[in-house]
Structure 1
Amino acid sequence: MTTIEPFRLRISNDRIAELRNRLRWTRWPEPATAPGWGQGPPLDYVRELCRYWADEYDWRATEARLAAVPQFRTTIGGLGIHFWHVRSARPDAIPLIMTHGWPGSVIEFEKVLGPLSEHFHVVCPSLPGYGFSDRPAGRGWTVERIADAWTELMTRLGYGWFIAQGHDWGTSISTEIGKRRPDRVIGLHLMPPLAPPDPATAGDRTPAEQAAAAALTSASIGDGYSLEQSTRPQTIGYGLVDSPALLCAWIIEKFQAWTDCDGDLQSVLTRDELIDNLMHYWLPGTGASAARLYAESFASVQSRFRGGVADSIDVPTGCSIFPKENPRPSRRWAERRFTNIRYWSEPPRGGHFAAFEQPALFTAEVIACARALTADIPSS
């Protein structure tokens, strides 16, 4: 089945009413025994966000806005894949596939679709088990298999060569596309490239490298989510699919920790934007299926990163290292694994969700990277 069919979100009033009732009937715990976010999102913060979600958030406005985005579904490897596809009016536009990660969704890219489509044919698929893609019923949807599926998707759309861009899971998936099908990629744009600290630099690290290594160590304090999702995704999945309050707390904790927000999440993302992303988990019921990608691929990705450079990526690569991202490899660390770096940039602002947080900076990075990747390609 290679048919590509248009897709439009149509959520019934009953489902919205059910969500609001679940939020209003949440059984809340007592406050944490320490102030701040150290034990997790504060009760007052989550309770107020859930109140807004139930009483003031307008899904119909989001639904109407997203109706303007060309959305489609196709079946690849027996699984229905949902994706956004915005064709550029430019005859020389470059095909660009952008891949999100957890706990994000395609909604991260909404603000950059217009600016990027002035230069690129933009494709944004929802990962298997995320958003409005199907939920895998069995094992095997690893980052490698997703990379092959994305290559097939671009073939169906008529794109022979393309740039693969990504962050979080999208970094690993884009890297696998370059590794498995170097004949198909113009190059990669990674935010960031996954490359461990070089042991050879341990006694001669720059201040930035020292800070990056320290951040890797301190980040382990908040790694409980990845251990749970990579070992027992079904256990946490019951709550993520049943309780919108748990889904909110589980995901918003990471947005607060991983954005460049100086502790104030709503200084970079509005409540509506945060809930738009939550709705891409709640409405299709993908809290458990999204977590299972960790069970499929987290150990293999971590072994490559923490065990040293186990593979070499030779396709042209561009890297954007945002200041609140983690990891933040230095160029000399990255060059051990990515042997053909054509573009390297360290923007002044932004974190893990750069397209969502800083859409103008993100757009500029993608455009600059594409120019570097195509600099030695003869014009037709």
Structure 2
Amino acid sequence: MTTFRIDIPQNDLNDLHERLARTRWTPQLPGEGLDRGVPADWLRDVAEYWRTGYDWREREARLNAFPQFVDEIDGLDLHYLHVRSPEPDALPLILTHGWPNSFVEFARTIPLLAQTFHVVVPSVPGFGFSAAPRTTGFGIPDVASRFATLMQRLGYDRYGTQGGDLGAYVAPELARQHPDRVVGVHIDGGFGFPTEDDVPGMTADERAEWDLMQQWMSGGVDHHALLRAAPQTFGAGWHDSPVALLAWHAHKFQEFSMSDQPLLDVIDRDAFLDNVSVYWFTKTAATSSWPMYEGLGDGARFAWPRGQKAVPSGVYGGGSALMRRLAERDNTIAHWPEGNPGSHHFIAMEQPAGHVADIAAFFAKVRDSQRL
């Protein structure tokens, strides 16, 4: 393994600022809010802050406070953060970020987690500073196998897995592949979501809940369909225009909110721009789209994370009685809290303390049960 430090060339930073200054702004279309997409005035304001107010060098230094490394695993360079706890018998914990996010998703939770866990945060292949897949057919099992190799090389024979969004697929896959190593799986949410196959067995109340879910799922931009069809086409714009990339991330981060609050009232503005900046500087807007065209379904439709019963599972935000019933069908649920704070899909960025407390509570249950 090789130590790694983020050091974006000044020419790249200058280029970003110049491109932002030369933006050819689109006019505002009729409509309010997100009716036609990210509002032009909002986008212009945030882009101007990105150019003149946001201090990448200061943010870069913050990220470099975490020990970082690069290790070649199965032909791909894997970037990761590794922060050891002062507690010698701390449980190792590997965190997997989501899409369109990066390792910076956990920047506020790592110092809190490291009080209890040895924390490992890889950049998923194709994201951030990890190398992109070089062939078609790369999927969730390929990520999990590399992460398992990483944990083995770090000397961790037993560990926990955690993730949300894309990470909610990788975390249980690690348990499926290595039930002898993984002590428990904690995800932000995703277990127990019904599919069309579950509808015939639903009660009338559950069917009404299903109908409401369908209304929610049908709203917004279907990025799975978009990126399954033409990631190379759309990636060309995100790769060349920082404002196009900013607008895309802002749109998805706002859609991923479960409240009507404005995005930057929920997610810190600099933290949001940290993530956009990592995508921009690493040129990974297109390479990070592989989960949509390779790994999150059967190639024809979206699929929720698959469960596993080899090790206990827990979630930050459980859900209804219907979801609990379906989750228990495919998982050994040991932790299903109600009322955890938060209104955003990327809960680690919104509620770092609450997120860490819930992760710690789940793994305390798991460790206590395994001592019996």
Report what 2:367 is aligned to. 374
* Contact 2:70-2:80 at 8 Å conserved across structures: yes
Report what 2:288 is aligned to. 290
Q: Secondary structure at the match of 2:185?
A: strand
* Contact 1:175-1:313 at 8 Å conserved across structures: no
The 3 A distance-change label for structure 1 pair 10 and 310 is closer
Among candidates 68, 71, 78, match of residue 71 of structure 1:
68
Q: Please provide the CA RMSD for this pair.
A: 2.3
Following TM superposition, by how much is the alpha carbon of 1:322 offset from its aligned partner in structure 2, in angstroms? 6.8
Among candidates 312, 334, 356, match of residue 316 of structure 1:
312
Report what 1:99 is aligned to. 96
> One-letter code of the match for 2:246?
C
Report what 1:343 is aligned to. 335
* Contact 2:192-2:324 at 8 Å conserved across structures: no
Following TM superposition, by how much is the alpha carbon of 1:211 offset from its aligned partner in structure 2, in angstroms? 4.9
Residue correspondence of structure 1 range 86-235 to structure 2 within 5 A = 86-197=83-194, 198-199=198-199, 202-205=202-205, 210-211=208-209, 214-235=212-233
* Contact 2:257-2:345 at 8 Å conserved across structures: yes
> One-letter code of the match for 1:313?
K
Q: Does residue 266 in structure 1 map to residue 259 in structure 2?
A: no
Q: Distance between the aligned counterparts of 1:172 and 1:356, measured in 2? A: 19
Report runs of 4+ in structure 1 exceeding 4 Å deviation.
209-213, 301-304, 309-312
> One-letter code of the match for 1:237?
G
> One-letter code of the match for 1:238?
A
The 3 A distance-change label for structure 1 pair 64 and 243 is same
Q: Distance between the aligned counterparts of 2:273 and 2:259, measured in 1? A: 17
Following TM superposition, by how much is the alpha carbon of 1:213 offset from its aligned partner in structure 2, in angstroms? 5.2
Report what 1:356 is aligned to. 349
* Contact 1:322-1:354 at 8 Å conserved across structures: no
Report what 1:46 is aligned to. 43
Q: Distance between the aligned counterparts of 1:139 and 1:301, measured in 2? A: 12
> One-letter code of the match for 2:185?
L
Q: Percentage identity across aligned positions? A: 36
Q: Distance between the aligned counterparts of 1:284 and 1:114, measured in 2? A: 25
> One-letter code of the match for 1:199?
V
The 3 A distance-change label for structure 1 pair 13 and 5 is same
Following TM superposition, by how much is the alpha carbon of 1:298 offset from its aligned partner in structure 2, in angstroms? 2.6
Following TM superposition, by how much is the alpha carbon of 1:131 offset from its aligned partner in structure 2, in angstroms? 0.6
What are structure 2's unaligned runs of at least 5 residues? Answer: none
Q: Distance between the aligned counterparts of 2:25 and 2:236, measured in 1? A: 17
Residue by residue over 1:9-65, the C-alpha shift from the partner in whole angstroms, topping out at 9 and shown as x without a partner, is 111211111001111111121112211102211111111111111111100100111
Residue correspondence of structure 1 range 51-66 to structure 2 within 5 A = 51-66=48-63
What are structure 1's unaligned runs of at least 5 residues? Answer: none
- TM-score under structure 2 length normalisation: 0.93
Q: How many residues were matched structurally?
A: 368
Q: Secondary structure at the match of 1:336?
A: helix
* Contact 2:318-2:336 at 8 Å conserved across structures: no
Q: Distance between the aligned counterparts of 2:32 and 2:205, measured in 1? A: 35
> One-letter code of the match for 2:21?
R
> One-letter code of the match for 1:255?
F
